Amino acid sequence: MSVTEREKLKDKNRIVIKIGSSSLTHAYTGDLNLMKIEKLVRVISDLKGQGKQVVLVSSGAIAAGRQALGHHTRPVTISEKQAFAAVGQARLMMVYQKLFAEYNQIAAQVLLTKNTMVNDSSRYNAQNTFDELLKLGTIPIVNENDTVSTSEIPLVDNFGDNDRLSAIVAALIGADLLILLSDIDGLYSDDPRQNPKAEFIGLVKQITPKLMEMGKSTSGSDVGTGGMAAKLAAARIATDGGSDMVIANGDQVEVIEQIVTGEEKGTLFLAHPNHDFDLMDYINHEY
């Protein structure tokens, strides 16, 4: 009996998981959902127990800062976002460190800027740092350094969202699977929130220009930044770089276990390593 594309996910060893702000916060208040984060930590720790290497790209710093400072509306100005991120990133890592320690795991913080990736020396150092952290058995927790990342600062442009950032990290470290958890079940032929007749697409073998046009720069959440257009852009980076990618609903983080055991969850984008793939070309010219 032939092995299905889904069953092949069981053999993935180096996995990048991206979880969005909408999946880490309470819907009404925007505060961190600690119960949800604890479940996420438990699932990742279990993957580590299976011998897999896991990198977590986690949103939520600005939301955590909002909660700590008592602001329940999304920040508007750049200085507000950076201030909330400065407070929230420390708070978020404190939560992760404490929860992972309860499962005898060590979390490591990695903050990246676009300039880190554009500069040859810093990109090489970042790659070596990831490799060493994984070799040491830690769980790197990645976020964009929102305190300094802004398109208004010369040479320190931003990635725009953690969907693209997670795909870039997957390509950088040679991951064989990228899982994007968001507030949607996967890829549809149209926005299911607007069109009830939208058809779910469970498998994407090739990312075509027509498929890219289906992405819409919208998000159903007031705490996230990446819509479907960002996820399709991430899929191009990940699959060209040699990683399978799955978009799934992060409402129940146990979906991660279901994905890596071959269940039909979310939309699977198949890797098709591109010999002409140049990560720097993607970053500099496309994103």
How high is the pLDDT of residue 93?
Answer: 94
The region, left, alpha or beta by phi > 0 then psi within -120 to 50, assigned to residue 120 is alpha
182 is in an annotated binding site: yes
> How many whole angstroms separate alpha carbon 238 and alpha carbon 145?
21
Query: What order of strands is seen across the sheet that includes strand 267-269?
Result: 107-112, 139-144, 53-58, 14-19, 177-182, 244-249, 267-269, 203-204
Instruction: Using alpha carbons, select from 67, 79, 84 the residue that is nearest to residue 32.
Output: 67
Residues in CB range of 50: below 8 A, 6 or more apart = none
79 is in an annotated binding site: no
**Where are the alpha helices (H) located in 119-186, listed in sequence order?**
120-135, 162-173
Residues of the domain holding 55: 5-284
Give the CATH number for residue 169.
3.40.1160.10
How high is the pLDDT of residue 43?
Answer: 98
Tokens 């994905």 found at:
259
**pLDDT, tens digit only, all 287 positions of the chain:** 346 899 999 999 999 999 988 888 888 887 889 999 999 999 999 999 999 999 999 988 888 888 889 887 777 888 888 888 899 999 999 999 999 999 999 999 999 887 788 888 988 999 999 999 999 999 999 988 755 555 433 333 455 578 889 999 999 999 999 999 988 899 988 877 788 888 899 999 988 888 877 765 444 444 444 478 888 889 989 999 899 999 999 999 999 999 999 999 999 999 987 766 777 777 765 54
**pTM > 0.85: yes or no:** yes
The first and second tokens of residue 99, run together, are: 């929860």
Q: How many domains does the chain have?
A: 1
How high is the pLDDT of residue 284?
Answer: 66
The first and second tokens of residue 244, run together, are: 């399978």
How high is the pLDDT of residue 91?
Answer: 92
How high is the pLDDT of residue 62?
Answer: 85
> How many whole angstroms separate alpha carbon 240 and alpha carbon 232?
12
162 is in an annotated binding site: yes
Instruction: Using alpha carbons, select from 226, 227, 218, 222 the residue that is nearest to residue 74.
Output: 222
146 is in an annotated binding site: yes
Determine contact, residues 58/182, Cβ cutoff 8 Å: no
Neighbouring CB atoms inside 10 A of 106's CB total: 12
Instruction: Using alpha carbons, select from 55, 226, 61 the residue that is nearest to residue 142.
Output: 55
How high is the pLDDT of residue 55?
Answer: 98
> How many whole angstroms separate alpha carbon 58 and alpha carbon 47?
17
